[in-house]
A = this chain, B = another copy of it.
């Protein structure tokens, strides 16, 4: 998986219709647009207008709204690629893939970006709103849409809570031995809970 935040070049090769300051202008415009309108209310066209560039530049540099969102928040995830890693395969093992991918993504960056994201969510209603929409409609939303039999929103919240909490304790609180535990240990411990939240019986 490629970390969107660290990705310097455009996603597609071909003509070069804008320099790297186009990318920077799109990121800045995206920050403003997402903060003002939330993830759902923001549009790629309006972000491009704010940046003074053609809307095709968003696809050129980021591949779409999802990765533009995470890149604008310095979240080291390309959501489309992340979901392509998680969704295929046995639905009864998706809990394992969720934990494994989560740990791989955030271990690579250290806790800094996660702490910054959590701090932002806890400080600003606008940040909480856009993350809520993004997690609910994109990240976890597409996972429950793919594998869960019912109660998609409740399952998404439960799954998100378990993953968020693991990240908080591992990377921010740095509570040992969970903070240094290897992936196999945490997958074995946590994946059954996530699996139950996604596909198991709920009240």
Residues of A within 8 A of B (CB): 115-116, 118-119, 121-123, 128, 131-132, 135-136, 153-154, 156-158, 160-166, 168-170, 172-179, 181, 184-185, 188-190, 192-193, 196-197, 202-203
For A192, list chain B residues within 8 Å (CB): 196
Are B202 and A189 in contact, CB atoms less than 8 angstroms apart?
Answer: yes
For A122, list chain B residues within 8 Å (CB): 115-116, 118-119, 122, 172
Report Cα–Cα, A163/B169, bound state, in Å.
Answer: 10
21 contacts between A and B (CB under 8 A): A118-B122, A119-B123, A121-B168, A121-B172, A128-B173, A128-B174, A132-B175, A135-B175, A153-B178, A154-B189, A156-B175, A160-B173, A161-B166, A161-B168, A161-B169, A161-B178, A165-B165, A168-B168, A188-B202, A189-B203, A193-B193
Q: Please, which residue of chain B has its CB at the minimum distance from the CB of A158?
A: B189
For A197, list chain B residues within 8 Å (CB): 189
**Overall SS of chain A's interface:** helix
Are A132 and B174 in contact, CB atoms less than 8 angstroms apart?
Answer: yes
CB distance from A160 to the nearest CB of B (A): 6
For A116, list chain B residues within 8 Å (CB): 122
Are B162 and A162 in contact, CB atoms less than 8 angstroms apart?
Answer: yes
